[in-house]
Amino acid sequence: MDKSPENPEEDTVSLKSNGEKSSNGSAKLGMLQSFRTSIRRVAEKSLLSSGRKGSKVTTADESRLQVPPSPSLSADSPVMSPLKTIGGLFQSTQDNQSDIDAQKGKSLSRSKTDPNISAFGDSLIKKGASIRRSLTFRKNRSTRGQLITVSEGSAEDRKEERQEEEEEDEEVREEMEESYTLPEIPHTPLSVMQINKLIEMEVLEEAHLNLLALRHEFQQQQARCGEDSPMELAKKEKDLNLLYSELRNKINAIVRDSNSLPSRNKGLLVPVARIIQEEESRVEEPGGLQGGWMETWREAVGEGVKVKVESIHLECKDQNASWLAVHLGLLGKAIVEDLEKVKRELRWSYPPSFSVFSTYVRSYHKVVGQHLKKLEPQVTELKDLHILLDWIINRYRSERIMGSVSLQPDMKDESVALQLEDDLLKQLKDKYCCRVKEDMRSSLDRLIQLENEEFWAHSRIPEKDDDGFFNSQVHMDVWTKVKGNIVNTRLIDAQLEQEVISCCLIELKEFPKRFETEFRHLCSAVRPQPLWTQYHITYINSFTALQEHMDVYKDTSPQEVRAFRKEAECLIIRLIQELEEQFKEEVKPYLRRMMTRKWLTNDEDFKQLSSRTETLSQHCALMRPPYVQGFADRMHHHVVREYIGQLMKSNYSCKNRKHEKAASKMRVQCGQLRDLFDDMKSSCEWLHAVGDDLSGLIGQKNKADIKNYLQPLVEHYPDFSRKHLVAVLYFRGLVRGREHQLILQRLTELKKKLGSGDRNQVLFGDMQVTINTDCLSNLSCCPTTSATWRTMSR
């Protein structure tokens, strides 16, 4: 490019070199040739791969007719940088020498206003022709001067091809050296427009060398001008900033796309790395950009990772219920594939100090964490929260992704944990626990509905289990739900498992009351049919079993287990009490007619009592321990007490030796009741003797012998008092006389002698005693009336 004779001072800017540079020019030329020769190895490998099956090979004549390729080539173009970079890679040593000599012998011109681009373009076309001649020469050697179109091979051939390429790649890969020799900086830089064009066309090495020359000019002028900065110096500084910004942006774009388009950018990464190294070493010199180039490179890597992550297919959750699982599966696969490319290809284009693999791993940790933060508001269902938490805590660091065998041993010293923002993991865990509680409540309500639909609404008889007990699936359904939540959470995290156990038990605490409310409301129509009793026994069994199921968590959540057990036990007790009250109401009219004139002559009431008790015994056989034992004991005690208690009401007094028949009947009936409650597994054996003891008193022919049969009764039932004895004697027909008083005196002696006995076994103590008026009138005629009356209540 010639200087203009009209404006020599405006068009020509020379880079003044030191004398040392001119004397050592030949040495630096040798270093430049060595640098380009090292790069040529990589370019030759790229060229060899371009002539493989499936590509079109053209002759030299055809290549000369082609226009030099655009700077923005497609990803599968074999040659990406058509000018200085490729020319430097493939020109012969003589071409390099002649270019350098020409560069030394002739200074390049720059215009302040409109650069002469046409001459620069002609120069680029000439260099492009030289590149094409070099390429054609190599291709002609392989094709022997013929235009060959290679047809696409079979799938097996392509697979073999890829394997061969990978084997060849393994053979030529060598770690890029940390140290390098900077090619000679031009004496006179190209114009701003020309440098910018080189950057646009990705001829980065040439552009950077000219930028360094321009920067050197600026530094020399700044040193001459000192603090007085003329407009020319300010304009040059502005040009430097603009060009450096363009170069940095271009480098960022190349680095960002390097893993998405490795075949396009792989050849550009070597000069990119050297430019970054050089600029890092000149960071303190004036004329450069603010901010570290290495940090900018890391940011570009992160941007590329972000583009990759955001490109993963994400379906709408309304269209696919498994949208999140599919997305995370694709994301994990993309991460592994991307890091495999970094390990296999990209890292060889950088010096070791760049720590390429580690940088990409850390970028994925950060970018994926940010991506999951954006996904979090969309993740609302329990199953999706489970999938997301499991992916974060387990799958991401497992052999499926970061622990993949294909990434070893490079991952050995790397962290495998995601970099999550703003306590995202805690938010997800809290959200998960809330959803567990909501899901638990919904499931429990649904179980009540199912129970109504299957049984209550159709008055269906409850089923029996293998042990012959009434059984409902409610407790199994609840346990299965709770256990499922806990087991699934255990696969994610042990600490989260503890929280889920607590959440399930807290929600389960309210279940007994809700179940009872719905049961009473929906089953009110069946009361007091036998089915009502069967339902009560069924749910006594079910909630008893549910208590046992939940007891397995008492070590991990003791407080919550106790709270649930309390509510469940309260429900069981209320159900049992209702059964007891129902039975008491059923047998009340029959017990009330015991020890009367009708009872003495008619067995119908006792038969009804016996029948109801036998039905109760059958129901008890369908009730599970441990509550059945207490239920049977209480019913046994109630029947015996009410049966004997009729004696204390003084409704009837036997006359004309009817006391013998009454005593015999009492003994027989008490024996029948004893057998019924034995079948119910009642543990109140101490009640068995009362029938025989009272029958012995009532049935004595001789009044004088009655006092001799008092001791067994007092021994067995210490709460038997004088008022009870008076009522028994009244039923016997003995209401007055000396023998009556002697019998009472004998009772007083025995109670003093035997003491109070076992206070836990109370039969007579809470019996209501009614004193007959005839007895009172008779007592007033006796000499010991006042003393006797004072002790009647003892």
Q: What is the pLDDT of residues 434-477, one digit of tens each?
A: 999 999 999 999 999 999 999 998 889 999 989 899 999 999 99
Q: CA-to-CA distance for 367 and 161, rounded, in angstroms? A: 35
pLDDT in tens, 177-220: 888 888 888 989 999 999 999 999 999 999 999 999 999 988 88
Q: CA-to-CA distance for 540 and 569, rounded, in angstroms? A: 9
Token duo for residue 624: 């599970």
Q: What is the DSSP string of 470-534?
A: EE-SHHHHHHHHHHHHHHHHHTT-HHHHHHHHHHHHHHHHTHHHHHHHHHHHHSGGGTTSHHHHH
At 479, the amino acid letter reads: W
% of the chain at pLDDT higher than 90: 55
Q: CA-to-CA distance for 644 and 691, rounded, in angstroms? A: 8
Closest to 663 in 3D by CA, of 747, 609, 671 = 671
Q: Which range is least confidently modeled, 41-55, 198-212, 678-692, 698-712? A: 41-55
Q: Could you tell me which residues come within 8 angstroms of residue 569 by beta carbon, excluding any fewer than 6 positions away?
A: 547
Mean pLDDT (whole number) for 139-158: 37
Higher per-residue pLDDT: 241 or 117: 241
Gyration radius from the chain CA atoms: 52
> What pairs with residue 463 in β-bridges?
471
Buried b (16+ CB within 10 A) or exposed e, 239-261: bbeebbebbbebbbebbbbbbeb
Residue 56, classed as helix, strand or coil, is: strand
At 781, the amino acid letter reads: C
Q: CA-to-CA distance for 70 and 456, rounded, in angstroms? A: 81
Residue 556, classed as helix, strand or coil, is: coil
The alpha carbon dihedral of 192, 194, 200, 202 has a sign of negative
Confidence (pLDDT) at 175: 72
Q: CA-to-CA distance for 716 and 131, rounded, in angstroms? A: 123
Higher per-residue pLDDT: 258 or 115: 258
Token duo for residue 406: 């294909």
Higher per-residue pLDDT: 782 or 675: 675
- Is the pLDDT at 424 greater than 70? The verdict is yes
Q: CA-to-CA distance for 782 and 745, rounded, in angstroms? A: 14
- Is the pLDDT at 778 greater than 80? The verdict is no
Q: CA-to-CA distance for 118 and 258, rounded, in angstroms? A: 32
Confidence (pLDDT) at 103: 41
Confidence (pLDDT) at 568: 96
Confidence (pLDDT) at 267: 78
Residue 532 φ/ψ, nearest 5 degrees = -60, -45
Compute CA 465 distance to the chain's CA centroid, rounded to the nearest angstrom: 36
pLDDT in tens, 371-400: 999 999 999 999 999 999 999 999 999 999
pLDDT in tens, 721-747: 999 999 999 999 988 889 999 999 999
40 and 68 Cβ atoms separated by less than 8 Å = no
pLDDT in tens, 318-338: 899 999 999 999 999 999 999
At 723, the amino acid letter reads: K
% of the chain at pLDDT higher than 70: 73
Confidence (pLDDT) at 263: 64
At 728, the amino acid letter reads: V
Compute CA 551 distance to the chain's CA centroid, rounded to the nearest angstrom: 24
Q: What is the DSSP string of 582-644?
A: HHHHHHHHHHHTTTSHHHHH--HHHHHHHHHHHHHHHHHTTSPTTHHHHHHHHHHHHHHHHHH
Confidence (pLDDT) at 13: 33
pLDDT in tens, 527-567: 657 888 999 999 999 999 999 999 999 999 999 999 999 99
Mean pLDDT (whole number) for 580-592: 94
Specify the DSSP element, H or E, that contains 149: strand 148-149
Residue 464, classed as helix, strand or coil, is: strand
Confidence of residue 237 (pLDDT cuts 50, 70, 90): confident
Helix/strand/coil (H/E/C) assignment for every residue in 403-447: CCHHHCCCCCCCCCCCCCCCCHHHHHHHHHHHHHHHHHHHHHHHH
Q: What is the DSSP string of 162-190?
A: HHHHHHHHHHH--PPPS---PPPPPSSPP
pLDDT in tens, 486-495: 999 999 999 9
Residue 26, class by beta-carbon neighbours within 10 Å (0-12 exposed, 13-18 middle, 19+ buried)?
exposed
Mean pLDDT (whole number) for 514-529: 82
- Is the pLDDT at 681 greater than 60? The verdict is yes
Q: Which of 113-122, 393-402, 756-765 has the highest mean pLDDT?
A: 393-402
Confidence (pLDDT) at 524: 74
Q: CA-to-CA distance for 135 and 220, rounded, in angstroms? A: 41
Mean pLDDT (whole number) for 490-510: 94
Confidence (pLDDT) at 261: 74
Q: CA-to-CA distance for 659 and 191, rounded, in angstroms? A: 139
462 and 535 Cβ atoms separated by less than 8 Å = yes
Token duo for residue 47: 């060229």
Q: CA-to-CA distance for 387 and 395, rounded, in angstroms? A: 10
Count H helices and E strands in the chain, helices first: 32, 4
- Is the pLDDT at 1 greater than 80? The verdict is no
Q: Could you tell me which residues come within 8 angstroms of residue 634 by beta carbon, excluding any fewer than 6 positions away?
A: 580
Q: Using alpha carbons only, what angle is made at residue 769 by residues 767 and 775, rounded to the nearest 5 degrees?
A: 160
Q: Using alpha carbons only, what angle is made at residue 635 by residues 631 and 638, rounded to the nearest 5 degrees?
A: 140
Mean pLDDT (whole number) for 98-127: 40
Q: Which of 10-14, 179-183, 365-369 has the highest mean pLDDT?
A: 365-369
672 and 610 Cβ atoms separated by less than 8 Å = yes
Q: CA-to-CA distance for 527 and 33, rounded, in angstroms? A: 105
What is each CA distance from 37 to 207, 273, 347, 628, 697, in whole angstroms?
19, 17, 21, 96, 130
389 and 432 Cβ atoms separated by less than 8 Å = yes
First to last CA, the chain: 138
Confidence (pLDDT) at 770: 84
Token duo for residue 495: 């600490």
- Is the pLDDT at 112 greater than 60? The verdict is no
Closest to 714 in 3D by CA, of 775, 663, 764, 788 = 764
- Mean pLDDT score of the chain, rounded to an integer? 78
- Is the pLDDT at 265 greater than 70? The verdict is no
240 and 189 Cβ atoms separated by less than 8 Å = no
- Is the pLDDT at 139 greater than 50? The verdict is no
Confidence (pLDDT) at 157: 52
Residues in the chain: 794
Higher per-residue pLDDT: 438 or 51: 438
